[in-house]
Amino acid sequence: AGKSGGEFFTPQEVSELLAKIALHDQESINKVYDPCCGSGSLLLQFSKVLGDKNVSKGYFGQEINLTTYNLCRINMFLHDINYSKFHIALGDTLLDPKHEDDEPFDAIVSNPPYSTKWVGDSSPILMNDERFSPAGVLAPKNAADLAFTMHMLSYLSNSGTAAIVEFPGVLYRGNAEAKIREYLVKENFIDCVIALPDNLFFGTSIATCILVLKKNKKDDTTLFIDASKEFVKEGKKNKLKAHNREKILQTYIERKEIKHF
């Protein structure tokens, strides 16, 4: 494991946290989606957390890299997911999305590639793409992070939750990215921002965060959780142990005010 083709593998404990945040205490879900699904580990967390029978319509994902795409399909078989229940597509999610005809998703989880390049505003078609047009601008060519975020938002059902790993630059860089953030805040889509510890991911030591999106929030508050110190050190890596994950999850679900957290 490591960095391959610009992707960072998602540690199991982060995958589990993403799944549980997206589920938000639900016992079952219609279907789950990851637009940058890699080898499928985030999707498979739902089968692990809920049991496959409680993911009624299955697992949907898209992957741009052929080898990783094949690995994902093999991974589904290895985890006893029936062929009729997984829908993994090959292709570029931003330019050629494969699941746009499906009904919206109740749970979306993803660890998209960080600051990857894309055509952005050099393509006149994209500005009219209904996934990106609501924000009025496109994510910059050298950082597609928020293009993935907007894509996921457009695929999210009205009652659904998206939990996305983001690099921190997405939260403070200016220009087009600031305008997209402004749109997300103004429309009240940001439910929670969770700052994670550094050194969690293979291939990078940078501290990431989890952005949680919802379309129908109960109020207009955004919860900020500083979990940057919530880890156990193992060798050179930091780990989110069960008690760390539980504290983050309960704080999110109960929306508790905790000093310095």
C-alpha triplet 238, 211, 192: angle, nearest 5°? 105
pLDDT band at 260 (very low <50, low <70, confident <90, very high): low
Q: Is the C-alpha dihedral spanning 59, 113, 98, 184 positive or negative?
A: positive
The rounded mean pLDDT for the chain is 91
d(CA 8, CA 2): 7
**Least reliable range by pLDDT among 31-45, 141-155, 203-217:** 203-217
pLDDT of residue 204: 79
Question: Could you tell me what percent of the chain has a pLDDT over 70?
Answer: 96
Indicate the pairing of strand 156-166 with strand 209-214.
Answer: antiparallel
pLDDT band at 6 (very low <50, low <70, confident <90, very high): very low
d(CA 164, CA 166): 6
Region 146-158: mean pLDDT is 97
Q: For residues 193 and 171, is the Cβ–Cβ distance under 8 A?
A: yes
**228 CA to centre of own chain:** 18
| Rg (the chain; Cα; Å) | 17
| Count of CB atoms situated within 10 Å of the CB of 120 | 20
Query: How does pLDDT run across 71-123, given as a tens digit for each residue?
Result: 999 999 999 999 999 999 999 999 999 998 888 999 999 999 988 999 998 99
pLDDT of residue 259: 67
Whether residue 143 is predicted with pLDDT greater than 60 in this model: the reply is yes
Domains of the chain with CATH codes: 3-253 (3.40.50.150)
Region 21-48: mean pLDDT is 94
Taking the chain, what is the end-to-end CA distance rounded to the nearest angstrom?
Answer: 31
Q: Is 4 helix (H, G, I), strand (E, B) or coil?
A: strand
pLDDT band at 8 (very low <50, low <70, confident <90, very high): low
The pTM assigned to this predicted structure is 0.93
